[in-house]
Each structure stands twice: as C-alpha cells, then as structure tokens.
Amino acid sequence: DKLPGTERSAPGLPLLVVGAAEVELCSGGGDRQVTDENKVEFVELLAEWRTRGAIQPQIEAMAAGLRCVLPESVLTELRGLLQPCEIAQLISGLGDISVDDWEQHTAYAHGLSRDSEIVAWFWRVVRGWAA
C-alpha cells in the first residue's frame, strides 16, 4: 500500500486537481487532505482523471464525429470485430510512412509535375516533418 520513497505527508494538499477549474477526484475530494494513508488512492484517482477524465470532452466530440459518418450499427459491429489498437490504426494510420514511396506513387494534375518547383518545395517540407 505504500508508494516507494513517499514516506512524507503532504499537509494541506486536497484531493483535487487545480488548473483552469478545480476538479474533485472523488466525491468530497475538495474537503479531504492527502495523507500517508490515502496517497495511493490519490495517485490512482489522479492517474484515472489524467488518462480519461481530463480528455472526456474530446473523446465525446470524436465519438460524435464518428457517428456523423458511420451509423451506430456499424460502430457497434466494429467494436465487436476489432481490437482497440486496430481501431486506432484505422483512425491514425501507420506510424511510419515512406516519403519516397509516397512521392513515387503521387499523380500530379493542374499543370504540376514531379519537376515543378512548388512540388519540390512540398516534398522538402514533408521530408522535414518525417525526419
């Protein structure tokens, strides 16, 4: 139950997160103090809030966006067929890309070609991002 290296108490530290707004990490957390007895609970609650609670509005907005383009029935089916990491890959793509492969398979239009100066600038910028 002890966190290594945390034998000191934190008098006056309430069980809440302070930022743009104070967030109680548990019911009545603003009235409770972090003590040696509850510091493990504090760390667990803080980790839960930072990994889920703090980004809940963004998660809800992303889910609403997905529901705009995919019917709920499709999303339900995908949840049953795919692992979370596979869904993340579908949304985000692969982490590494081959800029050379991308450039070799690019089709140009509107008077642009592989030799156009602006195209060369584009690939220079993309290579800078990929580095």
pLDDT in tens, 7-43: 555 666 666 666 657 888 999 988 999 998 999 999 9
Mean pLDDT of 112-122: 95
pLDDT in tens, 64-92: 888 898 888 988 888 889 888 888 888 78
**Contact partners, residue 29, CB within 8 Å, separation at least 6:** 14, 15, 16, 45
Q: Is the pTM of this model over 0.85?
A: no
